[in-house]
């Protein structure tokens, strides 16, 4: 496994070593010991989540606050998405900045998003199966969100606005400046 730093501290792209032959392929998607050695981050995942979405579906930007904040390791099992992490750590040099990456079943990349970030993704393929590990359990009362088209964040979602599909809840999220 290779781990690459992004321009945002503690946010990493993971690239597995893939072994392919005429039978198919095999790769180790996560190894805690290797991850901790290469990233310097200690993490213990306690919950796995998976979603299925159609082209243009945008889920985000979401986080959990306080004692229920979550670090996530996200990847795509089938299809292709643009994945976005927004740094909301007030003491961070990259506060208010975002990192985006294409994740797909073809490139098999993963993104590690530390606690203190908002996270979202949009489906670029006809459908996508999205999978992620969390280091803290879901807690409804700790849910937070930021509107996907916040001008301060200026995220290019790579999908025309009129083609985006959002939940009613995600359409009404507040701007970034109101939550930090």
Catalytic residue among 7, 62, 119, 139: 62
Active site residue 148: no
Catalytic residue among 68, 118, 132, 148: 132
**Residue 40 three-state SS:** coil
Q: Which two tokens stand for residue 83?
A: 């994945």
Q: How far apart are CA 127 and CA 73, in angstroms?
A: 20
Residues contacting residue 140 through CB under 8 Å, at least 6 positions apart = none
What is the b/e burial string over 148-171, where b = at least 16 CB atoms within 10 angstroms of the residue's CB?
bbbeebebebebeeeebebeeebe
Q: How far apart are CA 136 and CA 115, in angstroms?
A: 10
Active site residue 132: yes
Least Cα distance to 6 among 97, 129, 81, 133 occurs for 97
Annotated catalytic residues are: 62, 132
């Amino acid at each position: 496994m290779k781990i690459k730093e992004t321009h945002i501290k503690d946010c990493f792209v993971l690239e597995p070593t893939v072994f392919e032959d005429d039978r198919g392929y095999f790769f180790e998607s996560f190894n805690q010991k290797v991850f901790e050695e290469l990233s310097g981050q200690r993490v213990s995942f306690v919950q796995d989540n998976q979603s299925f979405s159609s082209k243009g579906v945008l889920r985000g930007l979401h986080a959990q606050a306080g004692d229920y904040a979550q670090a996530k390791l996200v990847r795509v099992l089938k299809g292709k998405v643009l994945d976005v992490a927004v740094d909301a750590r007030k003491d961070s040099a990259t506060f208010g900045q975002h990192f985006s990456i294409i994740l797909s079943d073809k490139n098999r990349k993963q993104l590690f998003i530390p606690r203190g970030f908002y996270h979202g993704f949009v489906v670029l393929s006809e459908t996508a199966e999205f999978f992620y590990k969390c280091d803290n359990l879901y807690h409804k009362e700790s849910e937070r969100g930021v509107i996907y088209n916040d001008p301060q964040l200026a995220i290019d979602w790579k999908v025309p606005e009129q083609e985006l599909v959002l939940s009613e809840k995600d359409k009404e999220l507040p701007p970034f400046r109101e939550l930090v």
